[in-house]
Amino acid sequence: MSELPVADVLAAEPDEETTLPPSKGDSDLGGRTLEEVDPGDALVHVRGLKKHFPLRGGFLSRIQGHVKAVDGVTFWVGKGETLGLVGESGSGKSTTGRAILRLIEPTEGTVVFAGQDVTAMDAEDLQALRRQAQIIFQDPFASLNPRMTVGDAIREVLKVHGLARGEGADARVRELLRLVGLRPEYASRYPHEFSGGQRQRIGIARALSVEPEFIVCDEPVSALDVSVQAQVVNLLEELQQRLGLAFLFIAHDLSVVEHVSDRVAVMYLGRIVETADAEQLTRSPKHPYTRALLSAVPVPEPGRKRERIVLPGDVPSPIDPPSGCPFHPRCPHPLKDQDCARTVPPLAEKAPGQFAACIKEPAYVAPTGS
Amino acid sequence: MAAYVARRLLGAIPLVLGIATIIFFVVNLAPGDPTALYFNQNVPPEVLEQIRRNFGLDQPLLVRYWKWLTSFFTGDFGYSFAHSRPVADIILETLGPTLILAGCTLVLIFAAGIATGVIQAVRQHRPADRILSITSLFFYSMPSFWLGLMLMLLLSLKAHEWGLPFALPPTGMTSVDYEFLSFGGKLADRATHLVLPVLTLSLVMAAGIARYTRGQMLEVIHQDYIRTARAKGLPGRTVVLKHALRNSLLPVITLLGLYMPLLFSGSVFVEVIFSWPGMGRVIVDAIFQRDYPLVMATSFIFALVVVLGSLVADILYAVADPRIRYD
């Protein structure tokens, strides 16, 4: 064996698969996938949404690759419902929220809002969409134009959508400020005169000014102090009940999401790895990533400690995501094997209404005839 | 705000006094004196001495300084040695043309510079941005005196020869037949004479402002509140012009103060090249002729304009940004 054949040399190169145990044949690719579910009359239905940002570099700044910020996500939000979208920084949550509203152009996939295809909308339709779907941004300090008074910023919305002018607009501004718990006199103040929580309330008032049906809350409380977070979250819930709003609530704080959401979707590296009812997801998570996330939520009980699952390594780069299951290099699942690096796991039903992208979890098969 | 302006104006007094003092000593301590103009083999030294006495140059420096300063601030700018006329008359005559030149340039550099910067930022990395970038870098790196000569050659002297449908007047502020023109003709004549000097001064400086505006715009365009404006459903034009541009202009306004000195020193070159009858040309001549009173008065006026320019920039800053309050 002094001369190795070329093929053997190539095969001897360190391969990700070789570091994993060989296939055990216990993978389960079955189960209904999320794409196959008919959500009925969902207000927002996102199917296979992708957003790839081109990476330019080198001579003549040619496209050298893509950041796969969002890599095929499917979900829906019903009328008056809150879907929580959680994930680490860089998992593509915010990009998803913005792509739904076409604040950035999605690369692929469809977004249907109230029966209309958002991805096919022209400028005029988009303008109409902005009356029905709004967004609240994460950073209340950066998301308000520093050179416009609060009143002007809201009046501008009313004017561009032809909702109110003159006296009527002033009255509406006062009403909106009162609605979010601010004093109507604040209309003539500039953003820098407010605290973070107050600014976020202004952001909410602005979003509400068009009387939307759907609001993307893009980490609305992440930049706020914990005491203020509760106020803003409660305000959002109260407004939801009063105005029948649907929310896509984006956050990296699972405890907040758990609290506000009806359903939760967990994102990892631009994909949804698990989605279920909020309660079910927290009670019995199916995906190892969700389990790890949940183990990091502090328990509000002195003395008691949850067993913390610490994931090894960092989130891989979305430029060159791992093969197969994007989570496999960090996955603590006891059954992990070479299949995980080969197969892209479908987001399949693992329990009634609970979908997880893990081939090592047994699929749920609905009883026939029911 | 009024209190702030008053305070700034009061604060400018020692500054202006200091400037006047420095100008006086720099000019008077420089080698050579105004009699050099009359120096000639046939002029006996006694006559030169007499001239010196006539100009008051025989007195000690500090005495001269005090006399000059007191009369200067009472509005008596003195008597030009070379022109044999009161300095005030010369300044009144030449200040107008300089202000016209500088004023037109100022308006043009900010209008063209900001417009270019905005277009570049909106079209970032597209061909329009690239072309404008290269063009502005081209002009930015060009010495204005050379650009002036080239423009003169291209658009005036060789214009007909090279088949251009027009030829701009290369020098002066009016044509020789100016007196015989109708009112409209006079206006047009003055305007065409303005084109080359203003263009020479503007191209270089507008390029700088364009680059600056582009950078500022790009910074602002990626701010969250621009995304907010888009999410509100505002048309793109409103987002760019109302939200992005207004916030980008803030630092550009500071350039107003910084460009004032450049504008006036630039006009010295341009006035000499294009024989523009303004103060810049007078300064150059006065320096060569050691015409102390004239050099001091004109330099002082330039300094004053610069001080005022930065004051105006500070005030505009407060007007443009509600967060800045000076009181």
Indicate which CATH number applies to the domain containing A103: 3.40.50.300
Nearest-angstrom CA–CA distance, B176 and B171? 11
For chain B, what is the largest distance between any 2 Cα atoms, rounded to a whole number of angstroms? Answer: 86
Q: Is A145 on the interface with B (CB under 8 A)?
A: yes
Residue A27 lies in a domain: no
Comparing CB atoms, the residue among B224, B233, B323 nearest residue A137 is B224
Domain containing residue A216: 41-55+65-343
A251-307 per-position pLDDT tens digit: 988 888 888 999 999 999 999 999 999 999 988 999 999 999 888 887 777 777 677
Comparing CB atoms, the residue among B231, B233, B243 nearest residue A145 is B243
Residue B149 lies in a domain: yes
Residue A20 lies in a domain: no
- For the record, the structure tokens of B266 come out as 């630039």
A164-175 per-position pLDDT tens digit: 888 999 999 999
| pLDDT tier for residue A370 given thresholds of 50, 70 and 90 | very low
A129-142 per-position pLDDT tens digit: 999 999 999 888 88
A5-17 per-position pLDDT tens digit: 555 544 444 455 5
Q: Is the pLDDT of residue A30 over 50?
A: yes
Cβ separation A147–B228 shorter than 8 A = no
Question: Can you give the CATH number for the domain in which B246 is found?
Answer: 1.10.3720.10
Nearest-angstrom CA–CA distance, A71 and A288? 20
Residue B51 lies in a domain: no
A110-136 per-position pLDDT tens digit: 999 998 999 999 988 998 999 999 999
Percentage of chain B beyond pLDDT 90 is 19
Query: In Å, how far is A269's CA from the nearest CA of chain B?
Result: 23
Helix H or strand E encompassing A202 = helix A196-208
Residue B37 lies in a domain: no
Half-sphere exposure of B39 (CA within 13 A, CB side): 9
Nearest-angstrom CA–CA distance, B193 and B195? 6
Q: Is A146 on the interface with B (CB under 8 A)?
A: yes
| Average model confidence (pLDDT) across chain B | 86
Q: In A, which residues are within 8 Å of B320 by CB distance?
A: 147
Cβ separation A142–B247 shorter than 8 A = no
Which A residues in the span 226-245 are in contact with B, Cβ-Cβ below 8 Å?
Answer: none
| pLDDT tier for residue B327 given thresholds of 50, 70 and 90 | low
Query: In Å, how far is B130's CA from the nearest CA of chain A?
Result: 12
Q: Is A203 on the interface with B (CB under 8 A)?
A: yes
Task: Put the strands of the sheet holding A108-113 in their side by side order.
Answer: A62-77, A44-57, A108-113, A116-117
> Could you give the ipTM of this predicted complex?
0.75
Q: In A, which residues are within 8 Å of B224 by CB distance?
A: 137-139, 142-143
Q: In B, which residues are within 8 Å of A149 by CB distance?
A: 322
Residue B45 lies in a domain: no
Q: In A, which residues are within 8 Å of B227 by CB distance?
A: 98, 103, 137, 143
B60-114 per-position pLDDT tens digit: 888 888 888 888 888 888 888 888 888 889 989 998 999 899 999 999 999 999 9
Q: Is the pLDDT of residue B262 over 70?
A: yes
Averaged pLDDT, B318-323: 74
What's the pTM value of the predicted model, to 2 decimals?
0.76
Query: In Å, how far is A134's CA from the nearest CA of chain B?
Result: 7
Q: pLDDT at position B156, please?
A: 86
Query: In Å, how far is A346's CA from the nearest CA of chain B?
Result: 33
Residue B69 lies in a domain: no
Q: pLDDT at position A312, please?
A: 84
Alpha helices for B59-169 (secondary structure H): 61-73, 87-122, 127-140, 144-152
Query: In Å, how far is B323's CA from the nearest CA of chain A?
Result: 7
By C-alpha distance, the chain B residue nearest A102 is B231
Residue A220 lies in a domain: yes
How many angstroms from the chain centroid is the CA of residue A323?
22
Residues on B contacting A at a C-beta cutoff of 8 Å: 125, 223-225, 227-235, 238, 243, 246-247, 320-323
B186-220 per-position pLDDT tens digit: 888 888 999 999 999 899 889 889 989 999 999 99
Q: Is A199 on the interface with B (CB under 8 A)?
A: no
Residue A19 lies in a domain: no
The residue among B163, B182, B199, B166 whose CA lies nearest residue B276 is B199
Residue A358 lies in a domain: no
Q: pLDDT at position A4, please?
A: 46
Q: Is A131 on the interface with B (CB under 8 A)?
A: yes
Query: In Å, how far is A102's CA from the nearest CA of chain B?
Result: 9
Nearest-angstrom CA–CA distance, A87 and A127? 30
Q: Is A104 on the interface with B (CB under 8 A)?
A: no
Cβ separation A101–B231 shorter than 8 A = yes
CB neighbour list of residue A257: distance below 8 Å, 6 or more residues apart: A84, A85, A86, A249, A251, A264, A278
Cβ separation B233–A137 shorter than 8 A = no
User: Helix or strand or coil: residue A245?
Assistant: coil
Averaged pLDDT, B306-313: 83
Q: Is A102 on the interface with B (CB under 8 A)?
A: no
| pLDDT tier for residue A194 given thresholds of 50, 70 and 90 | very high
Question: Which of A131, A143, A155, A176 is the best mutation test for B, with the most CBs of B within 10 A?
Answer: A143
Cβ separation A147–B230 shorter than 8 A = no
| Number of domains comprising chain A | 1
Half-sphere exposure of A312 (CA within 13 A, CB side): 6
Cβ separation A103–B231 shorter than 8 A = yes
Nearest-angstrom CA–CA distance, B94 and A165? 53
Cβ separation B229–A145 shorter than 8 A = yes
Residue A207 lies in a domain: yes
Domain containing residue B194: 2-31+77-320
Q: pLDDT at position A112, please?
A: 93
Q: In B, which residues are within 8 Å of A206 by CB distance?
A: 228, 232
Comparing CB atoms, the residue among A101, A127, A192 nearest residue B323 is A192
Q: Is A161 on the interface with B (CB under 8 A)?
A: yes
Helix H or strand E encompassing B295 = helix B292-320
Neighbours of B248 (CB within 10 A): 24
Q: pLDDT at position A2, please?
A: 47
Question: Which of A147, A190, A211 is the best mutation test for B, with the most CBs of B within 10 A?
Answer: A147
Averaged pLDDT, B10-18: 88
Residue B47 lies in a domain: no
Query: In Å, how far is B106's CA from the nearest CA of chain A?
Result: 25
| pLDDT tier for residue A70 given thresholds of 50, 70 and 90 | very high
Q: Is A163 on the interface with B (CB under 8 A)?
A: no
| Average model confidence (pLDDT) across chain A | 86
Cβ separation B228–A143 shorter than 8 A = yes
Alpha helices for A18-149 (secondary structure H): 93-100, 123-132
B244-259 per-position pLDDT tens digit: 998 888 888 878 877 8
| pLDDT tier for residue A369 given thresholds of 50, 70 and 90 | low
| Number of domains comprising chain B | 1
By C-alpha distance, the chain A residue nearest B249 is A147
Q: pLDDT at position B326, please?
A: 64
User: Helix or strand or coil: residue B273?
Assistant: helix
